[in-house]
Amino acid sequence: MRLELTIALALLAAVPRFALAHDGPPFPIVSERSAGAYRIDVWTDPDATDDGSAGGQFWVMLERHGSSSEVPAGTSVGVSIRPGGADGPWLTARAEPVRGDVSRQFAALVMDHEGRFDVRVDVRGPLGDASATAWVDATYDLRPPPVMLVIYLLPFLAVGVLWTKLLLRRRALSRPGPLP
């Protein structure tokens, strides 16, 4: 039994942290909204955290409204959040281009509790300014901690070990010759 537990713990320790970091795909909160010279899409993965890490992730996609040409360099995006319905200050992060593409930008913010958050996206650039608003419900990541995986697996490992021992004993008893 110790060997199986040691193997399970070793496998758990070998799993990279980034492999456990995602609980589902992002989803859209703004779709093809026309604002100024832009068409704005916003996708989010709104995870609330207690440790101060930026779990609220936002992807902003920009297109020139009514044109097939690209979004010009120098276009910047700011993503702001605040608790839903509150009149308090906005928490803002500057979005960074994804792989150098100005039309695809990413920002992460700290969502310190579950519940509704108002979201505002501000675009500034050579084509002018634009903004879009939405709201999202932040939730805690519902996956159990990795240690719980080992605890959940222990009964199954124990049944497997006992079953294997039973099969080996039956096999030994069914052979003719001296009993063990």
Question: What pLDDT is stored for residue 68 in this prediction?
Answer: 73
Count other C-beta atoms under 10 Å from residue 123's C-beta.
Answer: 24
More confident residue, 148 or 20: 148
User: Is the pLDDT at 167 greater than 70, yes or no?
Assistant: yes
Q: What is the CATH number of domain 25-140?
A: 2.60.40.2480
Q: Say which residue the tokens 């222990």 belong to.
A: 154
Domain map of the chain by residue range?
A: 1-23+143-180, 25-140
**Are 100 and 107 within 8 A, CB to CB?**
no
Residues 6 or more apart in contact with residue 58 via CB below 8 angstroms: 42, 43, 44, 79, 95, 106, 107, 108, 109, 119, 121
**Are 89 and 82 within 8 A, CB to CB?**
yes
More confident residue, 2 or 128: 128
pTM of the shown model: 0.66
Task: Give the model confidence (pLDDT) of 8-50 as tens digits.
Answer: 555 555 554 433 334 568 999 999 999 999 999 999 999 988 8
Q: Are strands 38-48 and 128-140 parallel, antiparallel or unpaired?
A: parallel
pLDDT bucket at 180, cuts 50 / 70 / 90: low
Report phi then psi at 12, rounded to 5: -65, -40
pLDDT bucket at 96, cuts 50 / 70 / 90: very high
Please tell me the distance from the alpha carbon of residue 180 to that of residue 173, in angstroms, as a whole number: 8
**Are 46 and 138 within 8 A, CB to CB?**
yes
Percent of the chain residues past pLDDT 70, beyond the cut: 83
Please tell me the distance from the alpha carbon of residue 120 to that of residue 29, in angstroms, as a whole number: 11
Count other C-beta atoms under 10 Å from residue 56's C-beta.
Answer: 25
